[in-house]
Amino acid sequence: MRGNELVELARLRPVIADGAMGTMLQQKGLEPGACPELWNIEHADVVRAIYEAYIAAGSEVISTNTFGGNRIKLRTYGLENHAVEINSASVRIAKGVAGEQAYVMGSIGPTGHFLEPLGDLTFDEAFSVFHEQALAMAQAGADVILLETFSDILEVKAGLAAALKTGIPCFCTMAFDSSGRTMMGVSPARAATELTEAGATGVGANCGTGPAEMLDIVRQMRAVTKAILIAQPNAGVPRIDKGQVIYDVSPEEMAEYAQKFVDAGVNIIGACCGSTPEHIKAIRKALAVL
């Protein structure tokens, strides 16, 4: 199983993941409020080109364009009945590009709804939604399921329980802000401990902060878990300049943190919002793993 191969490789040496998909699609013409995941069907050539650019830059792991591919999120666009088609398509595109060069992680993001008692989404409903998505990607050939950018520990546990039913390795990353906690108040130590105990093969942090802030977060995680540790920071904290969203961390600055992440015990290193293949290329060069 290629997912297990990835896990073993990550235990031997740092593995380089990819960077942003959403902000890359925006650069390619994705309009505000449009569905990024629909591009797997309508603009497959663009999605394919982004995967190709990351692998050319040195990514050994790429994540599918399925972050919002659960049927609750897709309902916003009237696409809830196309969840299986959309998720399967993204995996097929990614696998076609990756071949034997890279591993494919099926990306699953939050539903955007609060679970009970804060909201009206039950654990069982969340489980069902995530299971549909994870199963579609596993059957299409994803090597790993990646639940990413979660803030609610209960929601990510529902997703993890659903993803584990596929039988392939599952990673979970949560989004922490500058306070060092998620929007729902979850600490790095709590996230790493509870998700490891719940069966995650890998845990970590993505989005939320830039590399400087994320470094302390992953250190706290490594202190309480022996799981594969993942770090995918944003290219800085976004700001608005003349109506444009700007990310200030350059590829060179991102690369400066690569060895620091390795020294902190991180096994898989990539980037998130605002990053580009140039950021990944710089990380690869800094770590000299290829």
Q: Which of 41-45, 94-98, 285-289 has the lowest mean pLDDT?
A: 285-289
What is residue 288's predicted lDDT score, i.e. its pLDDT? 85
Residue 175 CB burial class (10 angstroms; 0-12, 13-18, ≥19): buried
What does residue 61 show for φ and ψ, rounded to 5 degrees? -135, 130
pTM value surpassing 0.75: yes
Is residue 244 scored above 90 in pLDDT?
no
Q: Which H helix or E strand runs over 258? A: helix 251-263
Domains of the chain by residue range: 2-287
What does residue 244 show for φ and ψ, rounded to 5 degrees? -110, 140
Pick from 189, 264, 254, 179: nearest CA to 230: 264
Alpha-carbon span 211 to 199, nearest angstrom? 27
**Is the distance from CB of 6 to CB of 169 less than 8 angstroms?**
yes
Q: Residue 47 corresponds to which tokens in the numbers above?
A: 């999605």
What does residue 246 show for φ and ψ, rounded to 5 degrees? -115, 135
Alpha-carbon span 115 to 4, nearest angstrom? 32
**Is the distance from CB of 50 to CB of 24 less than 8 angstroms?**
yes
Sort strands 170-174 and 268-269 into parallel, antiparallel or unpaired: unpaired
Q: Which of 97-101, 216-220, 247-251, 275-279 has the lowest mean pLDDT?
A: 247-251
Is residue 15 scored above 60 in pLDDT?
yes
Candidate CATH numbers 2.130.10.10, 3.40.50.150, 3.20.20.330, 1.20.58.340; the one for domain 2-287: 3.20.20.330
Pick from 219, 227, 222: nearest CA to 260: 219
